[in-house]
Chain A
Amino acid sequence: TQLLEQSPQFLSIQEGENLTVYCNSSSVFSSLQWYRQEPGEGPVLLVTVVTGGEVKKLKRLTFQFGDARKDSSLHITAAQPGDTGLYLCAGESNAGNMLTFGGGTRLMVKP
């Protein structure tokens, strides 16, 4: 199983601040996905990055895939309380061609 490490594990910030979440691995991924999960709900897909160096934007969220396709980052500009949740990166597992999740980053944005 390819290991995906996310950092930080927990982040508490004030509304309006910027933040970056990282997803790293020693292995190359064909693609990486980012999900957000709110308490008591299932994860919701935010974006899929496929090409090394790719940058995708979703309103105030910017996703980047590393040139070597081993890492990815999620940058949130001017965070809002509605951004609060668990952010999960996911990529292909070596075993059985499956999706494997990183440990998650729990974000809390205080008003």
Chain B
Amino acid sequence: DTEVTQTPKHLVMGMTNKKSLKCEQHMGHRAMYWYKQKAKKPPELMFVYSYEKLSINESVPSRFSPECPNSSLLNLHLHALQPEDSALYLCASSIRQGPTEAFFGQGTRLTVV
């Protein structure tokens, strides 16, 4: 199994809503990542978890709250988002944290209205 699975694939939420994005991998990878990608731009790193501990937070606003319940799961909790937060949110995993090969999920297309 070399897949990273993200749910939901699409999400529309209001600015007062609370929602969560989910990511799962069963490759035994110990590093998991959240990226944000705007249209026609490269992915931008948001958070890194290494061995289930938050390793890097790239100065992401607190309305985005990551969670790593176990080594296979990664969540991104969303609250009070702004329309400019609309983007493709990508989850990725790698064997370990670092510039190693990363496997990406299909992403969640988020629209904030």
Contacts and interface: CB of A to CB of B under 8 A. Distances in A.
Interface stretch (B11-19, B61-69, B73-81, B102-110): B102-110
Interface of B: 4, 6, 40-43, 45, 48, 55-56, 88, 90, 92, 97-107, 109
Given A96-B55, A96-B56, A103 B42 contact: yes
Interface of A is mostly: strand
Contacts of B45: 98-100
A42 B99 contact: no
Interface residues of A, number: 27
Contacts of B4: 42
Nearest to A102: B42
Contact of B90 (A29, A42, A97): A42
A45 interface: yes
B98 A97 contact: yes
From B42, B88, B103, B104, name the one whose CB has the most chain A CB atoms within 10 angstroms: B42
Interface stretch (A14-22, A51-59, A61-69, A85-93): A85-93
